[in-house]
Amino acid sequence: MGFYAPAQIVGDARKHGVEVRPIDVNHSRWDCSLELSSGPYLAVRMGLRYARELRNEDGAAIVLARGNEPYDSVEEIQRRAGVSGRALDRIGQAGGFGSLKLSRRKGLWEVKGLGAPALPLFAAADERAGKLRPEAVEPEVALPQMGDGEEVVEDYRAVGLSLRAHPLSFLRDELISRKMITCADLRDIKDGRWVNLAGLVLLRQRPGSAKGVMFITLEDETDVANLVVWTKVFEKHRRTVLGASMMGVRGQVQKEGEVIHVIAQQLDDLSGLVASVGNRTDIANVYQVSRADIVKSAMTPDSRDLETHHLRRNPRGLHAPDLRLG
């Protein structure tokens, strides 16, 4: 993905009329693949690799065992592919059981109900019958449905993006009350104007050649905004810069042709606000950043802050090497 987070690439593709389809245990390969669609372009099916913490070998086993015969149940996936409950849990967290007519919550319930691999006696009986039969029939359980906001937050936590909606679309009224514009509004703002805006942190870059300057990409439901954070501002707001999953910024617009930056002067951690969308408390694990983000453990407090360091002494400084293309 280079310097772009998957959410940015998917968003841009959809804006250009490309249909992007979710992870599905009966349709996804390990990498993204192309599928026929009714539109002018082929559709993109997201690969199993985007299910957070799913191992390559488990994904390969699921695809290989599936072949041309789709799975009919979660138990069948376990028995045909020989994968662990942990692997199926990762797919369930990503909402990957859609073709089995299972919601995220129902799919995870099915995963939790799986037992150990089939005993040899049952496996032999299945082989003679030529089909897999469930070892037990459980009564139907009415599980509470997840709200729209909760589904979106879970998408970001498990996949890093959502094809349903953007978390900030649920917060727009609150942000308007705080007099924060959208990222798309930047196109109509004059050079030199001061603005307030907010977005999810997609990318942080601090190239060694930039002399300590950090570049941050924020995303809301309308577009992205590129921030320039000078060294003094970075040091003043270090914890917010390195730890926030959602950030509010006050800064000055800088335009050169069609290139737009916001020179940040004030940064606020709004992670608690975005966590409220899905009523989650594990804020640091909800939103993933791009692999181009060179700040290690960026979603946790900075270990160089004396307040968070148990020895109350400065550890060795972090070296951020140049980012190079190619």
Distance CA 14, CA 223 (A): 12
Q: What is the pLDDT of residue 254?
A: 98
Q: Are residues 290 and 226 in the same domain?
A: yes
- Kindly report the CATH number assigned to the domain that includes residue 280: 2.40.50.140
Is residue 319 included in any domain, yes or no? no
Q: What is the pLDDT of residue 118?
A: 54
- Kindly report the CATH number assigned to the domain that includes residue 137: 1.10.150
Average confidence (pLDDT) over 45-59:
98
Is residue 324 included in any domain, yes or no? no
Distance CA 170, CA 98 (A): 24
Q: Are residues 145 and 183 in the same domain?
A: no
The two beta strands, 224-229 and 246-256, are unpaired
Q: Are residues 101 and 59 in the same domain?
A: yes
pLDDT band per the 50, 70, 90 thresholds, residue 167: very high
Q: Are residues 154 and 44 in the same domain?
A: yes
Average confidence (pLDDT) over 81-93:
96
Distances from the Cα of 186 to the Cαs of 114, 163, 174, 224, 235, in angstroms? 51, 24, 19, 10, 26
Number of compact structural domains in the chain: 2
pLDDT band per the 50, 70, 90 thresholds, residue 291: very low
Q: Are residues 101 and 36 in the same domain?
A: yes
DSSP 242-304: HH-SEEEEEEEEEEETTEEEEEEEEEEE-HHHHHTTTT-S-GGGT-PPPTT--STTTTS--TT
212 vs 42, higher pLDDT: 42
Q: Are residues 78 and 52 in the same domain?
A: yes
Q: What is the pLDDT of residue 103?
A: 96
Q: What is the pLDDT of residue 135?
A: 61
Q: Are residues 185 and 106 in the same domain?
A: no
Burial 92-116 (b: 16+ CB within 10 A, else e): bbbbbbbebebbbbbbbbbbeebee
Average confidence (pLDDT) over 43-55:
98
Residue 317 has pLDDT above 90, yes or no: no
Return the minimum-mean-pLDDT range out of 31-40, 296-305, 307-316: 307-316
Residue 298 has pLDDT above 50, yes or no: no
Domain of 41 in residue numbering reads as 6-158
Return the minimum-mean-pLDDT range out of 2-6, 81-85, 90-94: 2-6
